Amino acid sequence: MTVDLNELLLVILYFALIILVIIFIILGIKLIKTLKKVDGVIDDVNEKMDKVDGVFDIIDKTADVASSISDKVVGFISGLVNGLFKRKKGNDKDE
SS (H, E, C) the chain: CCCCHHHHHHHHHHHHHHHHHHHHHHHHHHHHHHHHHHHHHHHHHHHHHHHHHHHHHHHHHHHHHHHHHHHHHHHHHHHHHHHHHHHHHHHHHHC
Mean of pLDDT over the chain: 88
Whether residue 90 has pLDDT greater than 60: no
pTM for the structure as a whole: 0.51
pLDDT of 35-51, one tens digit each? 999 999 999 999 999 88
Mean pLDDT of 74-91: 80
